[in-house]
Structure 1
């Protein structure tokens, strides 16, 4: 009798436990919205596939979104676009263009979708291991926000290093050139 009651209790509780573990869309979006004013140049926001590793660098914070890659990417880019202080430098895995459809069904459609979403941004491709090493190093002193999505295609993560909106790369180069000419370090 006791076993039957215990089994019934577990059976009835299972849907509640599963629902409690399902990520709340408003929670991760609120986290991004709340973090944006605090983030600045050299911070990163990563929108990653579901197999992206949980990193252990002290500055790396990982959040399970339960969202699709494109939904998460659109939200993050929109949040950055509405900020006054940062702009995105976007990196993607150099391996992505070489993945054949037969090894990763849906990869061709994903590449087309990313080309559409990111057409107005400069996107730099680097080998996956190099991007991970850059993020690991940055995570030692800067905050990295990792948003895990439900995408199950390899090498599809979008890595966004935040940069200063009101100070561009050309202005920085002119400043450094002027400092070098003056003998300043």
Structure 2
């Protein structure tokens, strides 16, 4: 087979495998979210975001946002995403949850108590920050203008369970950056 024909066929079939949903794309959704995420994670870096969100989380019109649909509950998806991010060498997560989640009772949303307990276990010793849900949208609006935001939408129907991971550099920290900036300012 001619090398050029082979390369053209490879490119054609390789392009057909892409199933990450981007703004305005309403084509069929590939249900193999894990494969999509594994392909996307190496491209994400410092200042990018990964959101693992509940079913009611809206598809936003911001140009920097990409969507993957995971046909699963939120906790198993979050567990997989955290495992992948935590085992990567290039990024580490800064974790945010909706502040409202801490005020929802079992009477208001069945399963919320179990969700909170299980998510705390998933986070283990990692620091989790909270912010009001509306603040998340304002922050994402600003961030998505410069940096990619990958949204993994799940089937979760407990309100305010979305988890927002802001990616930080995995091999460089704030102290090292401060030392570098101090050295540069002395020049």
Same fold (TM over 0.5): yes
TM-score, with structure 1 as normaliser: 0.81
Q: Deviations over 1:98-148 (max 9, x none)?
A: 112111111111111111111221111111111221112111111111001
Shift of 1:23: 5.4
* Structure 1: gaps of 5 or more residues: 1-20
Q: Larger radius of gyration, structure 1 or 2? A: 1
2:123 aligned partner:
118
Distance 1:178 1:148 in 2: 43
User: Which one of 62, 67, 73 corresponds to residue 78 of structure 2?
Assistant: 73
1:60-109, Cα deviation, whole Å (9 max, x unpaired)? 01121111111111111111122111111110111111112111111111
- Structure-1 residue corresponding to 2:136: 131
Question: What residue number does 1:96 align with?
Answer: 101
Paired with 2:60 and 2:81, the residues of 1 have a C-alpha distance of 20
Quote the RMSD (CA, aligned, Å). 1.7
Distance 1:131 1:178, change over 3 A: farther
Is the aligned partner of 1:86 residue 2:91?
A: yes
Instruction: Classify 1:146/1:176 alpha carbon distance in 2 versus 1 (closer, same or farther; 3 Å).
Output: same
Q: Is 1:61 equivalent to 2:66 in the alignment? A: yes
Give the structure-2-normalised TM-score: 0.80
Q: 1:43 aligns with which of 48, 70, 78?
A: 48
